[in-house]
Structure 1
Amino acid sequence: MHAKVVVVGSLNMDLIVRMPRFPVAGETLAGHGFATAAGGKGANQAVAAARLGAKVAMAGCVGDDSNGAELRAGLLAEGIDCSGVATVPGVATGIATILVDDAGQNAIVIAAGSNDEMTAERLADHDGLLEAADIVIAQLEVPMATVEATLLRAHELGRTVILNPAPAVGPLPENWYSLIDYLIPNESEAALLTGIAVDSPESALQAAQKLLANGARRVLITLGSQGVFYADGERHLHLPVEPVVAVDTTAAGDTFVGGFAAGLAEGMPLESAIRLGQRAAALAVTRPGAQPSIPHRHELPA
């Protein structure tokens, strides 16, 4: 299978604890639910793109353990090409501990594990995946050197490059911006990249203008319940969303990225691809879990 969308990134097993509110330092708080679910930003985005209609391949690493086997099996069940997913002996598969409060907000702690084994050298072993792709997606849950190698090679091949700069810890390397066709941060990530507090379409415009000035071709800032703000060198627009009752916002951004990529791969106009991602993300937040919450195309409202 020649995948139109190739995702280079993380695979995690999510350990999800539900609670009435987040604990404060030193506090022991009684939760009211625990579950495990397949996650990891890379794998989430791959699953979203696949469920929303794209042919997808994944490149990443899992450990030689039960979590790794389960994550690989889950991707294969979605029809995702896993020839680029390596099993690394002696290393634990990545995990994310996700705390979800009764308002549906989450706080996440990640132990990278096998995701740190996704090196630039391993990526080079799967160059054929990038060569066959139309769209290449990366995030920041694998080593930065691997992300840079992904951006460089995909750009060199003339592929459409999407970077979801998550989890962001500060500004991106300056040389990355010119390699990115679509930079997709959320509000907090946009703030870390630019130093501008982003909490509205107006502040999103300021942040987007700074990111464009740094060299990004197009910027989409996801604003949660306020929708998505898009800007390029010629225009900008705010696409609001219909309000929904959020149960769990885990993987909402990943669902948007995967849906947007699926729309682009299908040849949709830009705004239609954004709307596809928005509709999918809006449905995802009404369900618990990461990958379990991601909808299939036929589930989306018209």
Structure 2
Amino acid sequence: MAEITVVGSINMDIVALTNRYPGHGETLFGHSVKTLCGGKGANQATACARLGKSVNMIGSIGLDSYGKEIEKNFKENQIETSFLKLVEDESTGCAIITVDATAENTMLVVKGANDSLNEHDVQKAFSQIETSKILLVQMEIPEAAVIRAMMEAKRKGMFIILDPAPAEGVTKQALLYADIITPNLQETKQLTGIDVTSIKTAIEAGKYFDQYLGVKNSVIKMADKGALLYENGKSIFIEAIPVKAVDTVGAGDSYAGALACALADGESLESAARFAAIVAALKVSKLGAQSGLPTMDQINEYCAEHNLTYYGLQTRQLR
């Protein structure tokens, strides 16, 4: 059985590249358009699979051409698809994404079949899952399904990673079941009211999650500035790995997936977060939320070239 279980959204991404975003009512010519498999849940599952882990994917897709392509992609990545819900009367979720010259993106998501996943589907899947160590969840599917997944995971002694995205969908109940959360700057501000602009304000946000929302562990992702790991009252700043960004779509998903893989290997939160920084850096240097995800061979090659280490040792430039 799989080491990691992911419960979450599954989409087809339609990605357009352009120098800048069009203004309201404006028409611009872009450079290119690609159709790529995406969705936060699917991205995280694929990230784990690319890193060599066995993965269960629990989610919902439509009985359409996008759904067939996504299911094929899962199988090619050796992701367990027996827990996928196939929906007749809803189309597969779709995200229309624009990426500008700075590699930043805007995204319009139509949930489609993702909204069909319910508590019964999740409970039925978990009744057949026995050996997973880690649960990865996000908030792009119905809250009831997310909460049920977290409750089932708790019963089975799994470590729960919640990516609180989008922040508008996160409730205090979901936060209480999480062993660690991985918000970005926007999600941190939405949940805490704190505008994270420095290490000091990131620590304040970590304390807020702990003292007021009951989340003892958090990784506050500060984009290219790095990340702040807050663990049981202690904080550690982890610098970002400098790379030329091409596409930031899926960067947070690659981070969450890498974190799950390292924790499944028995690494500490700090060691896991340092590994995740490397994985996320390699992801943003390539196009595609899933096609840009690195493999372990690519990570090892990159680390050898740049004198980086991970797992058990602090990720750092070796002297």
Q: Could you say whether these structures have the same fold, taking a TM-score greater than 0.5 normalized by the shorter chain as the test?
A: yes
Residue deviations 1:103-150 (CA, integer Å, cap 9, x gap): 100011100001001111111111135433110110011011111111
Partner of residue 183, structure 1: 181
Tell me how far apart the structure 2 counterparts of residues 39 and 201 of structure 1 sit (CA, whole Å): 31
Tell me how far apart the structure 2 counterparts of residues 202 and 29 of structure 1 sit (CA, whole Å): 41
1:90 deviates by 2.1
Contact 2:8–2:58 (Cα < 8 Å) also in 1: yes
Contact 2:4–2:260 (Cα < 8 Å) also in 1: yes
Tell me how far apart the structure 2 counterparts of residues 19 and 60 of structure 1 sit (CA, whole Å): 31
1:207 deviates by 1.1
Change (3 A) 1:147 1:4: same
Tell me how far apart the structure 1 counterparts of residues 55 and 197 of structure 2 sit (CA, whole Å): 33
Secondary structure at 1:291 match in 2: coil
Match status 1:208 vs 2:206: yes
Higher relative contact order (CA 8 A, sep 6+): 1
Tell me how far apart the structure 2 counterparts of residues 176 and 11 of structure 1 sit (CA, whole Å): 20
Tell me how far apart the structure 1 counterparts of residues 262 and 3 of structure 2 sit (CA, whole Å): 11
Partner of residue 56, structure 1: 55
Tell me how far apart the structure 1 counterparts of residues 230 and 272 of structure 2 sit (CA, whole Å): 15
Q: Which amino acid aligns with 2:16?
A: V
Tell me how far apart the structure 2 counterparts of residues 179 and 298 of structure 1 sit (CA, whole Å): 34
Partner of residue 34, structure 1: 33
1:67 deviates by 0.3
Tell me how far apart the structure 2 counterparts of residues 43 and 164 of structure 1 sit (CA, whole Å): 13
1:106-145 equivalences in 2 (<5 Å): 106-145=105-144
Partner of residue 256, structure 1: 255
Tell me how far apart the structure 2 counterparts of residues 217 and 242 of structure 1 sit (CA, whole Å): 26
Change (3 A) 1:169 1:175: closer
1:42-121 equivalences in 2 (<5 Å): 42-121=41-120
Tell me how far apart the structure 2 counterparts of residues 130 and 251 of structure 1 sit (CA, whole Å): 27
Partner of residue 218, structure 2: 219
Secondary structure at 2:103 match in 1: coil
Q: Which amino acid aligns with 1:134?
A: K
Tell me how far apart the structure 1 counterparts of residues 18 and 173 of structure 2 sit (CA, whole Å): 42
Partner of residue 152, structure 1: 151
Tell me how far apart the structure 2 counterparts of residues 77 and 189 of structure 1 sit (CA, whole Å): 33
Change (3 A) 1:230 1:254: same
Tell me how far apart the structure 2 counterparts of residues 146 and 217 of structure 1 sit (CA, whole Å): 23
Q: Which structure 2 residue ranges, 5 or more long, are not aligned?
A: 304-319
Tell me how far apart the structure 2 counterparts of residues 106 and 76 of structure 1 sit (CA, whole Å): 28
Partner of residue 10, structure 1: 9
Q: Which amino acid aligns with 1:194?
A: T
Partner of residue 167, structure 2: 168
Tell me how far apart the structure 2 counterparts of residues 59 and 277 of structure 1 sit (CA, whole Å): 23
Residue deviations 1:225-261 (CA, integer Å, cap 9, x gap): 0111110223111000232111110001100100110
Change (3 A) 1:55 1:198: same
Tell me how far apart the structure 2 counterparts of residues 117 and 161 of structure 1 sit (CA, whole Å): 23
1:26 deviates by 1.3
Contact 1:178–1:217 (Cα < 8 Å) also in 2: no
1:276 deviates by 1.7
Secondary structure at 1:125 match in 2: helix
Contact 1:182–1:219 (Cα < 8 Å) also in 2: yes
Contact 2:286–2:292 (Cα < 8 Å) also in 1: yes
Q: Which amino acid aligns with 2:40?
A: K
Secondary structure at 2:95 match in 1: strand
Change (3 A) 1:130 1:199: farther
- The Cα RMSD (Å) is 1.2
Q: Which amino acid aligns with 1:247?
A: V
Contact 1:93–1:114 (Cα < 8 Å) also in 2: yes
Contact 2:146–2:174 (Cα < 8 Å) also in 1: no
Tell me how far apart the structure 2 counterparts of residues 159 and 16 of structure 1 sit (CA, whole Å): 35
